[in-house]
Amino acid sequence: MRETWALRIAALTALAVVLLAALFARVQRGERPGSPGPSPPPAADAALVEAGRRVYDREDCAACHSIAGAGNPRSPLDRAGARHDQEALRRWILGDGEAASALPRRVAHAKEEYRQLPAEDLDALVAYLRSAAGG
Binding region for ligand HEC (CB under 6 A): 56, 59, 61, 63-65, 75, 77, 80, 83, 89, 92-93, 103, 107, 110-111, 114, 125, 129
The partner residues of 66 in beta bridges, in order of sequence, read 71, 76
- Residue 52: name the closest of 64, 41, 63, 44 by CA: 44
Give whichever of 51 and 107 is closer to ligand HEC, judged by the CB atom: 107
- We find the least distance from the C-beta atom of residue 18 to ligand HEC, in angstroms, to be 50
- Least distance from C-beta 35 to ligand HEC, angstroms? 32
CB 124 within 8 A of CB 51: yes
Give min distance, CB of 23 to ligand HEC, in A.
42
Distances (CA, A) of 123 to 21, 42, 69, 78, 103: 40, 16, 24, 18, 22
- Decide whether 4 or 116 has the Cβ nearer to ligand HEC: 116
CA–CA gap between residue 96 and residue 101 (Å, rounded) = 8
Which lies closer to ligand HEC via its Cβ, residue 35 or residue 75?
75
